[in-house]
Amino acid sequence: MNSRERVLAACEFRRPDRIPRVEFFWAYPEPWQKRLGPVEAVNDVAIWSPLEGTFPTRARLLKQDGGDIYKVDQWGRTVRQRAGAYFVETLEVPILDGRDIDTIQFDPADLDVRFQQVVTETIEDVPVVGGMPDLLTVKRALEQAKEKSCVFGKTGGPFLRSTYLRGETQYLIDIARDPSLARAIADKVADHLTAVGVEEIKRWSLQETGIWIFDDIAYNTGPMISPVSFERILLPAYRRMVQAYKGAGARYVFFHSDGDIRLFLDMLLDAGIDGINPLEPRANMKVAELRKRYPRLILAGGMDNSGTLINGPAEKIQAEAREIIDVGRDGGVLIGSGYIGPDVPLENYAAYHETVLTCGNFGERWRG
């Protein structure tokens, strides 16, 4: 099987030739490449994302001050970022108190620029192609990616992207004190993201695979908001997003959120979500337990990237991987470890990699 066949077999709850892998890396340095091979050798999934922000035409550099970069980003936020850093500090958001949400006009979803400045989750936020290529160049890069990996699209979700526009603290206050405003913002953001997602499904011919919604809504100890607030404010938006993506032909819709989202899972499945990721053991999102409760939910992830893969020893890493592999023997599971950062030693990751190649090889030739 190639990566696409392997992933789709698992999603169909058929036994693949070996358990598929979904991995995200902060970086994939040269020593890892020499030891493990190219990134495609350790990952069957590539997730492509267009420029999905609400105001990409506003994005601009404001100034550089020493090691700090000040800019307006694609969401219309004024942010400060250290040179070479990933995370940003938000200094000002575009939706302030007193603004009429209905009067705010987001940039159109079908702008070509959105589909020229593409990023991939294979290695977090590294441009697929440099600079600002034309659409034909992007199309060729996508065709090459599809030959190596099972490619899905990506959008954000209504919670986290609403915090980009309102500020995280303020949006949580809105949810608690003014749920009608919080719902109006979430709906407007979701409608925008949905339009972008439908456009990428069509432009990038992602019907056979589908799209992932990335929306971190939980801590390790539980969700950021109550199930009641989730159901009233966010669930209708998720339901519309899933319906629209599947209406555009997407075969599968995955939901990515760090933390413990068990209180929301029944509602997400009711909205039409097919699979979840990254299933962090430290957040009690354990593959074997989730499989018992949700026999037809695609489970993507499961390895502990903050404990086991950092600290080892190899025997514990192998045992953790084998448990996930055993659940996935008849499909329905993609093994993965969330985001791999520089705190994961190469030797530990190599032990995990070898376990997947040996114990995760199911020893049956695919017959289609």
**Count of all residues that appear for the chain in the document:** 368
Position with higher pLDDT, 83 vs 262: 262
Q: What is the pLDDT of residues 1-24, one digit of tens each?
A: 999 999 999 999 999 999 999 999
User: At 285, which amino acid appears?
Assistant: M
- Whether residue 127 is predicted with pLDDT greater than 60 in this model: the reply is no
Q: Give domain 3-54+100-358's CATH number out of 3.40.50.700, 3.20.20.210, 3.20.10.10, 3.20.20.80.
A: 3.20.20.210
Q: What is the pLDDT of residues 245-256, one digit of tens each?
A: 999 999 999 999
What confidence tier does 87 reach under pLDDT thresholds 50, 70, 90?
confident
In terms of C-beta density within 10 A (0-12 exposed, 13-18 middle, 19 or more buried), how is residue 88 classed?
middle
Q: What is the pLDDT of residue 135?
A: 86
Kindly provide the residue ranges of all beta strands, DSSP E only, lying in 41-98, ordered along the sequence: 45-49, 60-65, 68-72, 78-82, 89-92
Q: What is the pLDDT of residues 263-302, one digit of tens each?
A: 999 999 999 999 999 999 999 999 999 999 999 999 999 9
> Please, are residues 18 and 365 in contact by the beta-carbon 8 Å criterion?
no
What confidence tier does 121 reach under pLDDT thresholds 50, 70, 90?
low
- Whether residue 131 is predicted with pLDDT greater than 60 in this model: the reply is no
User: What is the distance between the terminal CA atoms of the chain, rounded to a whole angstrom?
Assistant: 9
What confidence tier does 124 reach under pLDDT thresholds 50, 70, 90?
very low
What confidence tier does 366 reach under pLDDT thresholds 50, 70, 90?
very low
Query: Which neighbouring-strand residues pair with 254?
Result: 212, 275
Query: Where does the chain hold its CATH 3.20.20.210 domain(s)?
Result: 3-54+100-358
> Please, are residues 217 and 265 in contact by the beta-carbon 8 Å criterion?
no
> Please, are residues 172 and 224 in contact by the beta-carbon 8 Å criterion?
yes
> Please, are residues 10 and 19 in contact by the beta-carbon 8 Å criterion?
yes
